[in-house]
Each structure stands twice: as structure tokens, then as C-alpha cells.
Amino acid sequence: MSAPPPIAMLAELTHRCPLSCPYCSNPLEMVRAKEELPTEVWVDVFAQAAALGVLQVHLSGGEPASRRDLEALVGAARKAGLYTNLITSGIGLTPLRLDALEAAGLDHIQLSMQGTRPDLADWIGGYRGGFERKIAVAREIGRRGIPLTLNAVMHRHNLDDLDATIALALDLGARRIEVACVQFHGWAVANRAQLLPTREQTEMVKRKVAAARAEYEGVMAFDFVPPDYYSDYPKACMGGWGSAGLNVTPNGTVLPCHAAETIPHLRFEKVTDRPLAEIWYESAAFNAYRGTDWLPEPCAGCERKEIDFGGCRCQAMALAGDASATDPICAKSPHRARVLAALEEVSDAPFTYRKLG
């Protein structure tokens, strides 16, 4: 099957992280430090990605600053002609490291925000003192004028702080805020009953983001990821499977999305075994759900199939036990009852914090 070249690559440099957020999108079985790709392989991956047509690399983790060679990797990605975005908790980004990252040509930082107060943020992130350190890093980023996006992951425990979150982003000089309601992949599945927002919060966040978008037009841009369990239709996850982006995990496994390894029958290849372009264009896993020809009913006969491509394959796997089923978020899905049942499973049990083995 023919496919356009990918635009973006998520490079998960490491799964190591000082924080333990209970909604982390990393898999439950994470890659250990000794299995991570060495510097020279990442450098080659960036060059291959640029040759394939990738324009932007999102350097992520875990916490990418846990890699001592982060500055060298940013420099290599820039040298390959890629726009470099660092997705970070900020922990580990000392002024000296920021100096080196700037010198390496880093284009943009996306800083995660767990909450607007130390008690809330440190509880959610599972890291005492993290909030104060993060704010200090954010101020340092602002002082240097590095373009900043605040990535606010929102859920039942912090959605009522939305106004304060927006105010904090403005105060930190962010050019963009991503109000990202938790998507249930990775560790978030294990904590779904603790994290699911209420219907009232869902309505409130949609209303407030729309109003704030108008109010701060030209000052700060808003990206919004709504909580989809209350939606009637799913999102076009990744813009469609294998259509716009790819992920490379810390050990070099190439995936169409961050949760794809939860689909047990697919075999994902490594950059150390096969060129990136061949994996993108030819691998069975990338071709498994491309386009719309594979879609089951009711998607096959639905007028929205070119809009959402049947929704998210990993969500279909998690909720229906079948990656090729209509995403159960969809009101037309025969598995919709599983979403409605999940909405009833509210719990105040302690979080299962992300941990590396």
C-alpha cells in the first residue's frame, strides 16, 4: 500500500524519569537503560528520518534529560535538518544544560505541568519538590526566550484548576498551552477509575477552552485534547494509522503510535534491523490499518470513515479486545457499553504510579 512520508517522529530517548505520573503513556513494561540505543544509532536514525521526509522530531521519554548525550542528540537532529522539540518535565535541565541545548540549536521546549500548586503537582507526579524545580526551569526558559509550550495533562483531580493553569502558562510566558485531557493508554489504563473526569468537568473544560482561546488570541495559542469517553465519535488517532507520524522507542522499535505494542498480533521491527524507510513503507505492522479498506462495519459504510478512520486501534484493543474493531468510543460501536461501564467505575483508590520494573 502506498503512503505519504511521515511528517513527525517521536523519539523516545529513554524510559527513565524522575517523575512517576500515573497517566504516563509509556508501556507498563519499559525499556531499561542498558537496552537504550547508543548515541551513534540515534544520530543515524535522525538522518534516516530526515531523508524519509520527517520535518520535526519530538525528543521525549521518560525524561529525555536523563540521557547525558541529550545535547549531542539535539545537535545531530538539527544537523540533519529537523525541527527539534524537547518534551520534558524540566527536572534535570540545569542552566548549564540549557546553555548547551541552546548552543546545539534546540528550537522549542514543551514543559509538562502536573498541577498549579506544589501539593497537587508533587502528588500527581509522585516527586516531592518537583513543582518548585519545574517553575524555576520554566522561568529560566522564559528568560532565554526559548519558545515554550506548557503541556497541562488534565483529569479529575486538576480540571477544576483550569483557570489557574491557564494563568500560570501566561505568567510563564508560554506561547502555547496544550490542555490535554488524559488519554487512556499505558499507565493511564491502570489508573482510569481514579483519573476519569466527570461529565460536568468535561462540559466545563470545552466551554472554558473555547472562551480562553478567543480571549487570548494573539497572546497564547491553545491546543485542546478533549476527554473522549464522553464523546459520540472517536478521534482520528495519529491522523490515521501510519499516515503522518512514527515513534521510535528507547530500544529502537519503530511504532505507528506510542501504545501500538499493546496489539499482540503485530510484530514491530527495529531500526537496528531494517532501514526506517523500509519499515515505514513495507512493514506488515505499518500497513495493517492504513487507509480505510480494512475497516469493519459499521465504519465501512459510515460517512465519517475518512474523518476518523474508525478511531484508535489501541483503544479498540484495550476496550474491545480487538484492534480491528470500531473504536468503542463511537456511539455506533457494538462495544460502546464498555465505555459507558467504565464511566461508572469511579474510584478514590491510591494511584498506581509508573515505575520502571
- Residues in touch with ligand SF4 (CB under 6 A): 233-234, 298-299, 302, 304-305, 308, 310-311, 326-327, 330, 332
Rounded Cα distance, 188 and 318, in Å: 12
User: Which residues pair with residue 251 across a beta bridge?
Assistant: none
Rounded Cα distance, 234 and 314, in Å: 12
The entry of ligand SF4, ligand FES, none that residue 233 binds, CB within 5 to 8 Å by partner kind: ligand SF4
The entry of ligand FES, ligand SF4, none that residue 144 binds, CB within 5 to 8 Å by partner kind: none
Q: How far is it between the farthest Cα atoms of the chain?
A: 57
Rounded Cα distance, 316 and 310, in Å: 9
Choice between 117 and 304, CB closer to ligand SF4: 304
The entry of ligand FES, ligand SF4, none that residue 330 binds, CB within 5 to 8 Å by partner kind: ligand SF4
Choice between 77 and 299, CB closer to ligand FES: 299
User: Which residues pair with residue 152 across a beta bridge?
Assistant: 113, 179
- Pull the grid cell for residue 78: 538539527
Choice between 303 and 348, CB closer to ligand SF4: 303
| Site for ligand FES, rule CB under 6 A | 185, 237-238, 241, 257, 259-260, 312-314
The entry of ligand FES, ligand SF4, none that residue 124 binds, CB within 5 to 8 Å by partner kind: none
Choice between 8 and 257, CB closer to ligand FES: 257
Listed in sequence order, the residues at least 6 apart from 16 whose beta carbon sits closer than 8 Å to its beta carbon are 33, 61, 62, 63, 66, 356
User: Which residues pair with residue 24 across a beta bridge?
Assistant: none
Shortest approach of ligand SF4 to residue 333 CB, angstroms? 6
Phi-psi region of 100 (alpha: psi -120 to 50; beta: other; left: phi over 0): alpha
Choice between 299 and 319, CB closer to ligand SF4: 299
Helical packing angle, 95-104 and 70-79, nearest 10°: 20
Shortest approach of ligand SF4 to residue 270 CB, angstroms? 31
Rounded Cα distance, 224 and 221, in Å: 10
Q: Judge whether 205 and 159 are in contact, CB under 8 Å.
A: yes
Q: Judge whether 85 and 57 are in contact, CB under 8 Å.
A: yes
- Pull the grid cell for residue 188: 493511564
The entry of ligand FES, ligand SF4, none that residue 75 binds, CB within 5 to 8 Å by partner kind: none
Shortest approach of ligand FES to residue 266 CB, angstroms? 11
Choice between 284 and 340, CB closer to ligand SF4: 340
The entry of ligand FES, ligand SF4, none that residue 234 binds, CB within 5 to 8 Å by partner kind: ligand SF4
Shortest approach of ligand SF4 to residue 228 CB, angstroms? 11
Choice between 46 and 309, CB closer to ligand FES: 309
